[in-house]
Structure 1
């Protein structure tokens, strides 16, 4: 490993990295990867908190701000949208600048929306100003893509589900944590003191940037491969997984932004009452995400994802019935279960991504390190796009709630649309990754591989792939 002055490049650079080599991994790789994972989680955690900042700040915005429920849903929805688009350039920035270097930059950028919100957060500020500042928080959404791309390169295929699940889960916890901090601020300082929340988080941004600078590393083996990017865009599995990730992560981030507003407007909860409940679902959904990755490592991401969508549909039915009956306890129970399942699905879908491209490599006749390199190359390029499209699902959820409350005064219409979408996700997962092909005399693939003959390779579907 070359670091500091020993390297032709400035900063901490690792020139030799072979995580699939078990000896290398045992003697050196696991320790280095674990250290980078820890500080990646810290930075991504703060990034998620800043990205979802306005889902909390709207709870401080009483009647004196002059913004109705539809306006608040639109405000948080736009923050979601920018965060989604930011994920694409953030993905490629890791290879351009180095994982450690870009984590420092990305963490430092969080100061911009935090300081801007501190300046404008008071009654009398125009809605346009609030919207522009909310858009700035999108940089926090980009942190997820760069962090996942970076950690994906550090870990061997057999550990990616666990590592990516832990990395994402630790980052996702930033959502309920900022909601808990907001609850404490409202309970102690009052609903009219949003700047107290911001004063707590701005120093944490600095801590995250400094820790990344001191303790993380850059991998020389990571390079921006425009050919891989083009190939991943043309590959149908990139778009199929983007669709499925809309169902899992799009649901998680969309509900995280909207939950407090739904409680306020559908069940007439006060800001303090809403804040005391909103953190529960995102917290459990975040903590369970590594379990989703581990289950996918053991049983196959496609199988876990399939039944997870079935569970999400069932939970949504409970939420719709509770909404009709105006039962807050049943509504909360169904919503919390739905949050937990979004977390499991987030872990299992992200496990599928490197597995799919590794399976494609095997279908092309590649083996060993060549297959692993091919899988890393395409999955690294695809992760940013899949993460971006998935995050757009959060915008869709907030816009659906906005229209539902404008039209009917409740979220029932929106939840009905989500139910239909989860059914489509279930069908796509089964049809593409688990459906047994019609008998054609061709050899059937074993679990964990794509079918062995060239005809199956051309089909490019990892039949029964335990991805």
Structure 2
């Protein structure tokens, strides 16, 4: 529902001061160390999740891979991460988010060490890529950890803040190519073992497990997930998040390959440009959540998809590099803003089942992310250009914009907790 906006009586300075005061008050309303722990968990996990995306050019050169093979290597962690998000979301509701979060970090460490010590063939790298998907499961852990530490009034802001941990995409895209130039791509993978180990200790120490009341996620995770997938509101959220987050993570992870193949950028420069795009997209996500808190998520989302369709179509013209970089930054920024809006809606509509709901919606985002690099790679090989990849994103955005009007007529879903996910009325 649309929310009323108070009229500001003072000038810009007074408005900024009031905004900062409101922000500080929002942080004090919950347990900020838990919020920090959730943010760190997501940040380092995103570094693991997109590790092969950051090193795709170097690995491709070493193993003489085609763009389609590189796309597969980039995409597989996104696919396995999507599946693991559903399991992790159910596990958070049933076994506890803190325990689940520590398990996720442990799986990430195994994947990193395997990549550092092995990975001598393309087939082995595919196996490592699947295990790197554990980094994507962090999303279904960090969101409920942070959400349950704060009251409902600040969910959009808080979830937007913790989700800005996808800035880990920036760090890995910026740092991994430089590590590779110094120690090779195996050494670059090994370098991630230190931050993962450190976050494991911090997460175990600072995060406070909130009481889980009224969850409907009991029983086998696949039964709970299957029941919730039949909820109309969840299906719609999966669709739109598959486009915004799928586009964000898929395009950002594939950018080094795109920039290297089309513009001839070297891996370090391509990684830096991809990192810039990821940085802006991550930084703007809390803004999307805060705007949705004030104006209502569904109305804001309609404008997001209209703007995204226009900018993506312009980006697909593949202009000269300086213009292309600006358009890529804008494209991914709009996607990041939309990600914040969507999870404000998730927290508002499914407060008691946020673990499983965020796992399912996040999984759809991961599947979207899997399809983007696969699609870009295959279309590049089949047509000789990346134009059709951007055209596909623009068409998907138009379709998503057309779905918003019916959702406005539904209104918020009528949620009735029950022993299974079928208790949702929408």
State the TM bucket, normalised to the shorter chain. 0.7 to 0.9
Give the alignment's TM-score, normalised by structure 2: 0.85
Q: CA deviation at 1:220?
A: 2.9
Q: 1:261 to 1:430 in 2, by over 3 A?
A: same
Distance (Å, rounded) in 2 between the aligned partners of 1:213 and 1:320: 45
Aligned to 2:420: none
Q: CA deviation at 1:296?
A: 0.5
Selected match of 1:126 from 110, 121, 124:
121
Q: 1:195 to 1:64 in 2, by over 3 A?
A: closer
Q: CA deviation at 1:231?
A: 4.9
Asked whether the 8 Å contact 2:180–2:187 carries over to 1, the reply is no
Alpha carbon RMSD of aligned pairs, Å? 2.5
1:146-295 correspondence runs (5 A): 146-170=141-165, 172-186=166-180, 189=182, 193-222=184-213, 223=215, 224-226=217-219, 231-295=227-291
Distance (Å, rounded) in 1 between the aligned partners of 2:128 and 2:355: 31
Asked whether the 8 Å contact 2:37–2:203 carries over to 1, the reply is yes
Asked whether the 8 Å contact 1:305–1:345 carries over to 2, the reply is yes
Offset from partner CA, 1:209-243 (integer Å, 9 cap, x none): 10011111222325543597565332100001100
Aligned to 1:16: none
Is it true that 1:77 corresponds to 2:75 in the alignment?
Answer: yes
Asked whether the 8 Å contact 2:180–2:188 carries over to 1, the reply is no
Per mean C-alpha deviation after superposition, the further-off stretch among 175-184 and 200-209 is 175-184
Aligned to 1:337: 330
Aligned to 2:397: 422
Distance (Å, rounded) in 1 between the aligned partners of 2:60 and 2:77: 20
Distance (Å, rounded) in 2 between the aligned partners of 1:27 and 1:261: 43
Aligned to 2:320: 327
Is it true that 1:57 corresponds to 2:55 in the alignment?
Answer: yes
Distance (Å, rounded) in 1 between the aligned partners of 2:354 and 2:56: 37
Offset from partner CA, 1:302-331 (integer Å, 9 cap, x none): 12211111111111121122x2xx422221
Aligned to 2:295: 299
Q: 1:60 to 1:219 in 2, by over 3 A?
A: same
Asked whether the 8 Å contact 2:90–2:355 carries over to 1, the reply is no
Aligned to 2:347: 354
Selected match of 2:138 from 133, 137, 143:
143
Which stretches in structure 1 are left out of the alignment for 5+ residues?
Answer: 1-25, 358-374, 438-444, 451-459, 462-467
Give the alignment's TM-score, normalised by structure 1: 0.78
Distance (Å, rounded) in 2 between the aligned partners of 1:28 and 1:76: 37
Q: CA deviation at 1:384?
A: 1.2
Is it true that 1:397 corresponds to 2:372 in the alignment?
Answer: yes
Offset from partner CA, 1:46-83 (integer Å, 9 cap, x none): 11110101001213225342211111001111111101
Offset from partner CA, 1:423-456 (integer Å, 9 cap, x none): 01111112322x5x9xxxxxxx8xx898xxxxxx
Asked whether the 8 Å contact 2:86–2:356 carries over to 1, the reply is no
Distance (Å, rounded) in 1 between the aligned partners of 2:242 and 2:121: 32
Aligned to 1:366: none
Q: 1:66 to 1:98 in 2, by over 3 A?
A: same
Give 1 or 2 for the bigger CA radius of gyration.
1
Distance (Å, rounded) in 2 between the aligned partners of 1:280 and 1:304: 25
Aligned to 1:464: none
Distance (Å, rounded) in 2 between the aligned partners of 1:86 and 1:216: 22
Q: Which structure's relative contact order is higher, taking Cα pairs within 8 Å and 6+ residues apart? A: 2
Aligned to 2:422: none
Offset from partner CA, 1:364-392 (integer Å, 9 cap, x none): xxxxxxxxxxx422444322111111210
Distance (Å, rounded) in 2 between the aligned partners of 1:118 and 1:243: 36
